[in-house]
Amino acid sequence: MSAAAILLAAGLGTRMKSRLPKALHPLAGRPMLNHLIAACEGVFDRVVVVVGPDMPALEAAAHPHATVVQAERLGTGHAALQAFPLLAGFDGDVAVLYADNPLITPDTLKRLRAARDNAGLALLAMRPADPARYGRVLQNAAGDVTRIVEFAEANEEERAVGLCNAGVLCAPAEKLFGWLRQVRNDNRAGEYYLPDVVPLAVADGDRVTAVEAPEAELRGINSRVELAAAEAEIQARLRRQAMEQGATLIQPDSVVFSYDTTLGRDVTVQPNVVFGPGVTVEDGVEIRAFSHLEGCVVREGALVGPYARLRPGTDVGPRAHIGNFVELKNAQVAEGAKANHLSYIGDASIGAGSNIGAGTITCNYDGFAKHRTEIGAGVFVGSHTTLVAPIALGDGSMTAAGSVLTRDVAADAMAFARARPAEKPGAAAAFRAARRKEKN
């Protein structure tokens, strides 16, 4: 049977104290909403995102999935009902989820769908360490859900129940939208609440079942503190995944991953390494401490760091060495090339086996446009060479230390571009004497 997911993302996130919609706050380099969309895409055939008015960035993040605007924020039940026009005539199951529950896994969503096959309504529940603020899921002797009671309205016996509502539910489309139309707003806030469909389902004689999942997956994010806790959870998942797939993390808790970081086998990552979005590291690479990588590829057997920065567009070739305090941006480094110390290589290509001396700079920006530096194979670039792009160094060429080069260098040539040394005997002593006289 086909199934659709409605993702509620209209909340402003007042407690986040931010101009950014809550659902766009990032976890592991990706907005919360997109984490949830990714989990849903492997489980549901259709995804509809409910956004608030004037949220173009949220609509863009949801693309290519359909969005609908909740013009008035009248509660979660009202928000879910806004998706009806986009799902009119849909005869499969519909699940309703919250964008601020971004850590739900596809496996949990599959269990939710499977549970719905044997019940009129299935919901997700958890047993949190501190259940105080959650609604309690009340069950009969057979384990079927009878109702959900909010903490503020629960008596002592009900508050002692450890099973708590996570808010996510799944039901046949026709029944769900029918129940949503019956939900009333006779409460203190005057809003229509999604959990109120549970007693309506029970009243209709439909069996309601609860699917338990870990609190780490189901807890909501409403503040920066909770965002930090969710970040810690997703980082723990990513670290474990990397190690299970064959990478060594010397000090796992100090390594920061992005949602899409890919590490090959026998990769070693030393402490305090940060992976931004878009990084692929092939087998046998060593990333040394305090390095930062984003939008780059590091090929098999390469060595990076410590204190290296690899920026977007960089491709480090097999067995290449990128050393301490070296920054690469949109640079392609061929097999076995080395830049071991204190260099900036931007908008450049470095041929196989070339050596970049300490302090080398590619001057790639003239204030208006970026220009490339092309360094051939087997080139030796002397320390403190400044390469003013556009410029090309031919295969096997060399540059003298301290040179400032503005013209191409032919293959196997040696380039010098620095002032001729001059010495004036006694000039330093005379200078100091003059300065002392001025002070007196």
pLDDT in tens, 169-187: 999 999 999 999 999 998 8
CB 172 within 8 A of CB 93: yes
Verify whether residue 321 is a known catalytic residue. no
The DSSP secondary-structure symbol of 370 reads: B
Which residues, in sequence order, are bridge partners of residue 287? 269, 304
The arithmetic mean of pLDDT across residues 255-274, rounded, is: 98
Token pair 């659902």 is at which residue? 23
Residue 308, CB-side half-sphere exposure with 13 Å CA sphere:
32
- Asked whether 178 and 89 are in contact (CB, 8 A), the reply is no
Question: What's the Cα-to-Cα distance from 394 to each of 13, 339, 340, 352, rounded to whole Å?
Answer: 57, 18, 21, 12
> Taking the alpha carbons of 324, 326, 332, 335 in that order, is the dihedral positive or negative?
negative
Nearest to 198 by CA among 223, 155, 165: 165
Residue 21's pLDDT is: 92
What does the pLDDT average to over 49-70? 95
- β partners of residue 314: 296
Instruction: Give me the numbers of helices (H) and strands (E) for the chain, helices first please.
Output: 11, 35
Contacts of 347 (CB under 8 A, 6+ apart): 329, 330, 331, 362, 364, 370, 371, 372, 373, 389
pLDDT in tens, 114-169: 999 999 999 999 999 988 788 999 999 999 999 898 888 888 899 999 999 999 99
pLDDT tens per residue across span 349-408: 999 999 999 999 999 999 999 999 999 999 999 999 999 999 999 999 999 999 999 999
Is residue 388 within 8 A of residue 403, CB to CB? The reply is no
CB 251 within 8 A of CB 44: no
Q: Which of 63, 78, 292, 341 is catalytic?
A: 341
3-state SS, residue 50: strand
Enter the pTM of the model: 0.90
- Name the 3-class secondary structure at 252: helix
Burial class (CB in 10 A: 0-12, 13-18, 19+), 323: buried
Q: Kindly report, residue by residue over 211-264, the tens digit of the pLDDT.
A: 999 999 998 899 999 999 999 999 999 999 999 999 999 999 999 999 999 999
Q: What pLDDT sits at residue 285?
A: 98
- Express each pLDDT in 74-89 by its tens digit: 999 999 999 999 998 8
Q: Model confidence at 99, in pLDDT bands (50, 70, 90)?
A: very high
